[in-house]
């Protein structure tokens, strides 16, 4: 029986907290079961529903795996000349390498973070260790179109929410971590200098640069 491996990210754009990459390996029966249970793009689900389905996914998959990219890692990579798309390709390859079963045919479906799916797919292939048994597809809106990628998006989103909850216990109200969130901007303005070396901010982001120009490194638009 052929297998399908869905991969997606959560937290690519926030100013605060990590980016999460997740993969879920399923057989066809498991994929159909999760679809029947309501697995869908995580953005379409409530927080309680994501948690409920996250448990369902872990109990009804062959394997799952989550990788974290910390703010410091993101900033360091960008400073060294690796853009965000390449860093994400490296992280997603780590997910694929962990979940690959070399004696099984596996269709890998990745929700592509880049506008250019063909170029980004070639970059991803550079970091995959064993490719002979894999059919690797990179698509836009894969989290909406494929249950396996929807499942990965849910695990990534749940993990991202857990990481933000941990930060809130330590630092107080930080909002969602996204630059568009007024609570996040309020926290940044009031506490940014105090916690600038705590490893929670992506200081390569344009929002950080605008408020603390002396710490500027790069522009998100450069990615």
Q: Does 176 lie in the same domain as 163?
A: no
Q: Does 200 lie in the same domain as 94?
A: no
Q: Does 100 lie in the same domain as 37?
A: yes
Q: In Å, how far are 3, 79, 153, 164 from 15, measured between CA atoms? A: 36, 16, 20, 12
Q: Does 213 lie in the same domain as 127?
A: no
Instruction: Point out the domain boundary residue: 167, 186, 205.
Output: 167
Model pLDDT for residues 184-222, shown as the tens digit of each residue: 999 999 999 999 999 999 999 999 999 998 644 444 444
CATH of the domain at 46: 3.30.420.10
119-144 burial, b for 16+ CB within 10 Å, e for fewer? ebbebbeeebeeeeebebbbbeebbe
How many angstroms separate the CA atoms of 19 and 77, rounded?
Answer: 13
CATH of the domain at 209: 1.10.10.460
Model pLDDT for residues 106-124, shown as the tens digit of each residue: 999 999 999 999 999 999 9
Close Cβ partners of 31 (under 8 Å, ≥ 6 residues apart): 4, 147, 148
Q: Does 191 lie in the same domain as 130?
A: no
The total number of structural domains in the chain stands at 2
Q: Does 215 lie in the same domain as 134?
A: no
pTM of the model: 0.92
Q: Does 212 lie in the same domain as 126?
A: no
Range(s) of the domain holding residue 14: 3-167
Model pLDDT for residues 31-65, shown as the tens digit of each residue: 999 999 999 989 999 999 999 999 999 999 999 99
Q: Does 176 lie in the same domain as 138?
A: no
Q: Does 46 lie in the same domain as 97?
A: yes
The strand pair at 3-10 and 19-27 is best described as antiparallel
Instruction: Point out the domain boundary residue: 167, 182, 205.
Output: 167
């Amino acid at each position: 029986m052929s297998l399908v491996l869905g991969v997606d990210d959560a937290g690519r754009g926030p100013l605060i907290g990590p980016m999460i990459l997740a993969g879920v390996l399923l057989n066809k029966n498991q994929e159909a079961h999760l679809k029947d249970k309501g697995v869908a793009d995580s953005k379409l689900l409530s927080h309680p529903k994501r948690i409920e389905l996250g448990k369902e996914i872990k109990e009804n998959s062959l394997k799952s795996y989550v990788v974290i990219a910390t703010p410091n890692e993101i900033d360091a990579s960008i400073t060294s000349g690796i853009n965000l798309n390449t860093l994400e390709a490296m992280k997603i390859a780590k997910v694929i390498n962990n979940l690959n079963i070399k004696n099984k045919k596996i269709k890998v479906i990745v929700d592509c973070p880049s506008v250019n799916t063909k170029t980004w797919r070639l970059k991803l292939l550079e970091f995959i260790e064993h490719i002979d048994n894999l059919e690797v597809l990179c698509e836009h809106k894969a989290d909406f179109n494929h249950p396996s990628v929807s499942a990965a998006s849910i695990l990534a989103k749940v993990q991202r929410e857990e990481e933000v909850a941990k930060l809130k216990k330590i630092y107080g109200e930080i909002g969602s971590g996204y630059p568009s969130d007024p609570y996040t901007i309020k926290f940044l303005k009031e506490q940014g200098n105090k916690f600038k070396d705590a490893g929670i901010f992506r200081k390569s982001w344009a929002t950080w640069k605008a408020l603390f120009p002396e710490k500027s490194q790069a522009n998100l638009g450069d990615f």
